[in-house]
Amino acid sequence: MKSMRRIKLFAAFMLTLHVLLMGRLLQLQLVQVESYSKKKINLLEKSVKQRTQQFVIDSGRGQFLDANNQPLSYSERYVLVLFPFIQFDDQALAKLSSNIPMDLTTLQKTLKETKQPVKLTQLSLNEHQVKEINNLRLDGVFVVKEKIVKDTPLATQFIGITGENQQLFDQRYPSKSLNPLQPIGQTGLQKMFDELLLSEGNEKLMYHVDAFGRPLFGLDVKYSSPNNSFFPLNIKTTIDGDLQQELENYIDTTSLISGGILLLDIENSELKAVVSRPKITNNDPFSNPGIENLMFTQLTPGSVFKTVIAAAAIENLLVNDQETFDCDKNIYGEIEVEKMQFGQLNFKESFTKSCNAAFGELAVRLTRQNPKLIARYAEKLGVVGGVGWKGDFFHNHNYSQLEEDIGQIYTTTGTDNESVHKQTGIGQLDVQVTPLAIANMMATIARGGERFMVNGVSEVQYQNGSQFYSFDTKHLEGETISPYTAMKLQELLRSVVKSKQGTAHALSELPYEVAGKTGTAEVEIRNGTPYYHKWFAGYFPFDKPKYALVVVNTNTTYSGESAHQLFADTVNILKSRENLLYNQ
């Protein structure tokens, strides 16, 4: 009896175990095939992957183009891909070697005992060779046009970088059923347009193998892609790729360590070149200051900010042509023997020679009339508040194209102190503006006071090249300066270069008539040595403005690379590309 009972218990146990195992098998093969466990593992994909060899042609992420539809963030090349099983076909290898610049012995050594597809990157194939190889119709031999994402693309900080971050992916896209381990935008345009650039899957060549790594009978190499000719989207920027390359090559020949060049097309309010240094360090970009786009970062402007003070003083009738200022003194009324003495100067001469005493005094007058007057004119000229394109786009109602700082005039403390206003008047202390905003200010003045948002992207394109969305030129909302004030500022900016006493008279011999303003902002003292931001911001040609240009050399000593020289060299580069200017 006891033995029978044990048999029954054992049978019941085995039956229960069998039912549990069958249930588990049903769960794995029928119920949770595509979303197994809390981690949502796709068992079908894992199974296929286990017996699949593949070569990824393209990650599927959208890319960036310049204004002429040429790639900025990648390059393209023909690459020869060989799958492992061809190593056993001597006849096929012999045919192949006779059509490529690689002898049979080297080819055999390259493929010996490999179990993964081999990419022969050392070969540079032309169109004729590609045609000849394709005509051979050899199994396991493919020539593909591969997109090579550049380690350091043009306008690196402007375009931005990508990286894997599953937590951030889940935060941004909680409802998207895409691979959360794919790279996503971390900075720049990569970040601002990330949702449109996401990959829906790799473009790849693949084949299935048995347990020993040999191709399964009857199966050839297959081409696989998301089969979507529209997505991901590509971003067409306003950048002139050739000019960007030329300016990047140029700036790397100078002694500039930190700073850059920003060129803005005045008519269309489009960025044509954005160069920021130092460069990004690819192996650890976030630990290096090169990750920052200094052209969109707020910096102390120094005397460039006197343009804002001049505009406010002109429109509020706080200065006239007869009044003079004692420019032998500094903003505190003290004579500085080591500084150049100018004597009594009128308003125009004070701007031309960049007299600190005059603009310190004007800043005090402005704040006495209205403590918010300087900040109001900074807003009118667009040097605070942001100037990049904003508006309705995709499913966003206040979308921003550009990742930019918005600038500031005052902090929350000290605004009732007269010395604070004087330092503000010469662009020191709390004043912070971006080179982007200063370039747009120069464009606004050149246009007679008309304000536009700055475009860095002209359109978003489908994969097939057709247009998904076009960014039109938009007016920058809010107040602006009067046409009369703009005209007076044009005269002042031109006098800085044209006058023999002007702080930028060295630029008077350039091939185009330039109007602009210098700025030398003292930012810190290290071991007794002062360090500066050196600026020159202006526009040209004066009579028919085409470009606004800002150059800045940041955190440099007095003997560091001259902003005048950077500006002059950039203008001369543009002159050598004169077809960009009116097709002369």
pLDDT (average), residues 142-147: 80
- How far apart are the C-alpha atoms of 508 and 485, rounded to whole Å? 24
- How far apart are the C-alpha atoms of 435 and 566, rounded to whole Å? 14
Higher local confidence (pLDDT), 57 or 243 = 243
What's residue 53's pLDDT? 63
What's residue 229's pLDDT? 62
pLDDT (average), residues 134-143: 84
pLDDT (average), residues 315-334: 94
- How far apart are the C-alpha atoms of 482 and 63, rounded to whole Å? 42
Instruction: Band the pLDDT of 542: cuts 50, 70, 90.
Output: very high
Q: Which residue has the tokens 């160069």?
A: 275
- Number of H-type helices and E-type strands within the chain: 18, 21
**pLDDT, tens digit (0-9, with 9 covering 90-100), for 233-260:** 999 999 999 999 999 999 999 999 999 9
pTM of the model: 0.83
Residue type, 475: H
Higher local confidence (pLDDT), 337 or 122 = 122
| Domain at 241-282+292-575, CATH class | alpha beta
DSSP 3-state of 205: strand
State yes or no: cis peptide before 435, omega within 30 of 0.
Answer: no
pLDDT (average), residues 24-41: 55
Q: Which residues of 545-564 are buried (b: 16+ CB within 10 A; e: fewer)?
A: bbbbbbbbbbbbeeebbbbb
Average the pLDDT over each of 145-159, 218-232, 249-263, 305-319 and give the range with the smallest value: 218-232
**Alpha helix (H) ranges present in 464-518?**
483-498
Higher local confidence (pLDDT), 181 or 505 = 505
pLDDT (average), residues 113-126: 80
What's residue 411's pLDDT? 84
Q: Which residues contact 368 (CB under 8 A, 6 or more apart)?
A: none
State the chain's mean pLDDT as an integer.
87
Residue type, 216: L
- How far apart are the C-alpha atoms of 144 and 128, rounded to whole Å? 14
pLDDT of 579 above 60:
no
CB neighbours of residue 396 within 10 Å: 11
Q: Which residue, among 439, 407, 403, has the nearest Cα to 263 in the 3D structure?
A: 439
Higher local confidence (pLDDT), 68 or 280 = 68
Indicate which residues carry an active-site annotation: 303
- Quote helix, strand, coil % in the chain, to nearest 5: 35, 25, 40
Instruction: Band the pLDDT of 408: cuts 50, 70, 90.
Output: very high
- How far apart are the C-alpha atoms of 355 and 502, rounded to whole Å? 11
Are 58 and 203 a contacting pair, CB within 8 Å?
yes
**pLDDT, tens digit (0-9, with 9 covering 90-100), for 183-238:** 999 999 999 999 999 987 776 666 666 654 555 544 456 655 565 667 789 999 99
The DSSP call for residue 354 is T
